[in-house]
Amino acid sequence: MAPYGLAFIFPLLTLSFLGTGPHRGPHALLWLLALPLLASLDGAMGRGRPGAAPSDHRGGFTALLHGLALLQGINLLLALGRTFQGGLTPLEAGTAVVLLGASSAHTLLVAHELIHKAHRGPRWLGRALLLTLLYDHFFTEHLRGHHVRAGTEEDPSTASLDEPFWPYLRRTWPGEWRSAWQLEVRRLTAQGRAGLWLRNTVLHGVVAQLALAGLVGGLAGGLALGGFIAQAALAHLLIQVVNYLEHWGLQRGASQRVRATDSWESDSLFTQFALLGLARHADHHLRAARPYQRLGWHAESPCMPRGHIAMVALVLFRNRRVRQLLAEELRRKGLKCLRA
């Protein structure tokens, strides 16, 4: 279980910045150097294909998720109570937004794990975490949309072959929200439920997010509200970069069962442990209820040339090179590709 303690790096980095202020002048920017250092850990830790963790430590793996959820709440309270309330230099405020946004994007991995649980309690905790990212529609779209349609033209989160990131971003975010709304309306209509609007879980999320934003603005002021929205927007951007990578160029028929070759994997040890099993994305699609520490490796899946953190930077700043590398891997594997 110990290697998964790397998952605390992101929230603890944010906590250390927020808890040790004020950071005046350019000194605040020094904290941002930690992000490229974390990307370099992908290479420093090496590459491998570790086996699944033993099941007799299940309680510890659950406690790890709860600890990460608690840190997200603490970081937000510190940010709203101290950092976003004025008296800040622009550099300090900007650093706080970047660190908190990166940590919030990491929190999606925790929320994702929780909403896949069978019991109501973890699922509600997962949705509460999604609210802190202003991303509640993910609960509906991911579980009932993406897992059904990944790798098909109907999936707004699947990037087609050679699709650049920024056009992908412009279509996928509204596409996700539209898909979630349609799925929920379809569910309620099929059930013949009265008061469809009142029972719509996507609408519940919108109302809850507006209420949370109103609470932040009312209690901490407009600057705090602006910072809260900015960190959520950055988290959305980073999440969509990962979504872009997970099924880029892969294709399956709408009636065809999902296969290991319909998702990208990574053999980065740092990605596997720090990002809660994200490296084993193919196995997650094959066995969605399997917890992160039990996910396995599939040799037939396409493999990213670097770990996820390094790949995120490449997608944002060298997207053409990323597409070349991914296309080369698809050709090497001889996989059928989704054309733009």
Per the prediction, the chain carries an average pLDDT of 90
For residue 106, the model assigns a pLDDT of 97
CA proximity to 42, closest of 263, 320, 274, 280: 274
- Across residues 267-273, what is the average pLDDT? 92
| pLDDT interval class at 248 (50, 70, 90) | very high
CA proximity to 156, closest of 314, 309, 30, 338: 338
The pLDDT tens digits of the residues spanning 200-227 come to 999 999 999 999 999 999 888 888 899 9
- Across residues 146-166, what is the average pLDDT? 94
Sign of CA dihedral 5, 309, 124, 122: negative
Sign of CA dihedral 237, 266, 129, 250: positive
The pLDDT tens digits of the residues spanning 276-307 come to 999 999 999 999 999 999 999 999 999 999 99
Q: Where do the structural domains in the chain lie, given as residue ranges?
A: 2-47+56-333
The pLDDT tens digits of the residues spanning 91-117 come to 888 899 999 999 999 999 999 999 999
pLDDT at 254 over 80: no
For residue 21, the model assigns a pLDDT of 76
For residue 80, the model assigns a pLDDT of 85
For residue 336, the model assigns a pLDDT of 66
Residue 279 near residue 271 (C-beta atoms within 8 A): yes
Better-predicted residue by pLDDT, 142 or 19: 142
For residue 301, the model assigns a pLDDT of 94
| Residue 206, CA distances (Å) to 135, 195, 212, 225, 337 in order | 9, 17, 10, 16, 35
* Residue 112 CB contacts under 8 Å (≥ 6 apart), including other chains: 126, 138, 142
For residue 81, the model assigns a pLDDT of 81
